Chain A
Amino acid sequence: QKEVEQNSGPLSVPEGAIASLNCTYSDRGSQSFFWYRQYSGKSPELIMFIYSNGDKEDGRFTAQLNKASQYVSLLIRDSQPSDSATYLCAVWGQGGKLIFGQGTELSVKP
């Protein structure tokens, strides 16, 4: 089992819809959780981090964390074509480093 798992996609949503990106992790001791966005040919860019159970909202983005289910998600409301990118989930575990998932490719169609 991979330490951090994401569906590779591509996930295709129409413009204006809600995009839902999901991530599961194996280390129950994980403490902090991150979402990065990576445009093609660019480096990852931090979007949000969350470390408490529940929801955290920042503009059109909402991160959701459920430690009991070892599940973290990212919702993007009112999706725009400019949101088309690969979204990386990362988990800070007891090993002292960030573990990245393989990423989910999101395509927002006009």
Chain B
Amino acid sequence: GAGVSQSPSNKVTEKGKDVELRCDPISGHTALYWYRQRLGQGLEFLIYFQGNSAPDKSGLPSDRFSAERTGESVSTLTIQRTQQEDSAVYLCASSSRTSGTYEQYFGPGTRLTVT
């Protein structure tokens, strides 16, 4: 079946502009996660959704970052007034959370470059 998809795959934006990143989880997966990965670094947790609610937003780096999820499906991560330090790959993952083992499956990521 279809995996997690993300769009756009690449985004180049000017400092100060707003960007929206989109994630389509695996059909039926109730949990959705956003991570950031800077070049050569590990995964940095940003936020996760269970259904349409976000029990844990602790990883969002600043109030410029926000995310929403509608219809227990698509999620968008919005970064306002982008800064150069926001340049990274933004990864989305989804999980069924009904299997009891909670494995997450990742999308291909969106590479964001802020110039």
How many residues in B have their beta carbons less than 8 Å from beta carbons of A?
19
User: Is A43 a contact partner of B42 (Cβ separation < 8 A)?
Assistant: no
Residue-wise interface mask of B (23-63) relative to A, using a CB-CB cutoff of 8 A (1 in contact, 0 not): 00000000001000000011101001000000110000000
A101 near B101 with CB under 8 A, answer no
1/0 contact string of A20-55 vs chain B (CB within 8 Å)? 000000000000101010000011111001010000
Residues of A within 8 A of B42 (CB): 88, 100-103
Contact of B103 among A34, A95, A101 (CB under 8 A): A34
- Known: A49-B101, A97-B33. Contact between A44 and B56, CB under 8 A? no
Binds A, one of B11-19, B76-84, B104-112: B104-112
A96 proximal to B (CB < 8 A): yes
B21 interface residue per 8 A CB criterion: no
A49→B102 CA distance, assembly (Å): 9
Interface residues on A, range: 20 to 34
Dominant SS at the A interface? strand
Residue of B nearest to A98 (CB): B104
Contact flags A42-70 to B (C-beta < 8 A → 1, else 0): 11111001010000000000000000000
Of all chain B residues, the one with the shortest Cβ separation from A43 is: B106
- Bound together, the chains give a CA A109 to CA B101 distance in angstroms of 34
- Across the interface, which residues of A come within 8 angstroms of B56, CB to CB? 95-97
* Beta-carbon contact of B55 and A46 below 8 Å: no
For the complex formed, measure the closest distance between the CB of A46 and the CB atoms of chain B, giving whole angstroms.
6
Contact status of A43 and B107, CB under 8 A, knowing A96-B56, A97-B48: yes
Q: Could you name 6 residue pairs across A and B whose Cβ atoms are closer than 8 Å?
A: A34-B104, A43-B108, A46-B103, A98-B102, A100-B42, A102-B42
